[in-house]
Amino acid sequence: DVVMTQSPLSLSVSLGQSASISCNSSDSLVYPDGNTFLNWFHQRPGHAPRRLIYLSSTRDPGVPDRVSGSGSGSEFTLQIGRVGPEDVGSYFCMQATFWPPTFGQGTIVEIK
Amino acid sequence: QVQLVQSGAEVKKAGASVKISCEAVGYPFTSHHVHWVRQAPGQGLEWVGAISPRNNSTTYARRFQGRVEMTSDPSTSTVFLEVIYLISADTAVYYCARGETGMDVWGQGTTVSVSS
């Protein structure tokens, strides 16, 4: 199975500052059709995950443009600008290029 | 509005089985795979398996093969997850989620508690 490795595992951010989370995969996530099936999710405590980003960099509807995904091959980054109270929780990357889908360990974001 | 609506919390004894459900609302039932993902207390997300409601084909994570079964009922737009021979390590929130290359809609989660 493809191993997804996130860093850092926890992050303390001041209100209004930016946060950056890395996700590396054990294999390149480029599918033969050229697509990269890398997703990012946000999970608030006590809630179900919500997808933020798919295809490495495409925002889901309703996701603010201060949230962005980037990367290619096996190295990916989620950036959150102007962090607010609504951004606390856990962030997970997930690959769906290979079967089975696999998740990163998660990164916990808190407000400093 | 597209939703996945899950059944309520379950409390079971070790060795028993549990069957939980996930109703698809607001989209054609057979148009998307449905995955099951679980999250043990304080832990990350673990993929359990997936079912295609179009043809009932299933794929399970290796560690769950032989102990889980996924089925679907097109008449009620509902998919089911049954876990047999429950152990305490199966205590978790079980989520269903829609999608093929990314899980874009998630159910609210079903808590399964297993006591020894």
- From chain B, the residues in CB contact with A36 under 8 A are none
Nearest Cα to A83, choosing from A1, A16, A8, A7?
Answer: A16
- Give the CA diameter of chain A: 43
- In angstroms, what CA-CA distances link A109 with A19, A21, A40, A45, A90? 8, 10, 14, 11, 6
- State how far residue B13 is from chain A, nearest Cα, in angstroms: 24
Given B35, B61, B103, which is nearest A51 (Cβ)?
B103
* A39–B44 C-beta distance less than 8 A: no
> In sequence order, which ranges of B2-102 are alpha helices (DSSP H)?
none
As a whole number, mean pLDDT of residues B26-33 equals 95
CB-CB neighbours of A34 under 10 Å: 6
> For position B116, what pLDDT does the model report?
86
Q: Average pLDDT for residues B19-33, to the nearest whole number?
A: 96
pLDDT tens for A34-68 read: 999 999 999 999 999 999 999 999 999 999 999 99
pLDDT of amino acid B100: 83
**Shortest alpha-carbon distance between residue B105 and chain A (Å):** 8
Helical ranges in chain A per DSSP H: none
Of A49, A55, A97, the CB nearest to B45: A49
- Please judge whether B104 and A106 are an interchain contact, meaning their C-beta atoms are less than 8 angstroms apart: no
B44 touches chain A (CB under 8 A): yes
Cβ contacts of A104 on chain B, cutoff 8 Å:
44
The C-alpha atoms of residue A2 and residue B51 are separated, in whole angstroms, by: 21
Q: Which residue from B70, B69, B71, B67 is spatially nearest to B86, judged by alpha carbons?
A: B67
The token pair at B82 is 């049954």
Q: How confident is the model at residue A77 (pLDDT cuts 50, 70, 90)?
A: very high
pLDDT of residue B101: 83
Report pLDDT for A36: 97
Residue A37 contacts residue B102 (beta carbons within 8 Å): yes
Put simply, whether B9 touches A (Cβ < 8 Å) is no
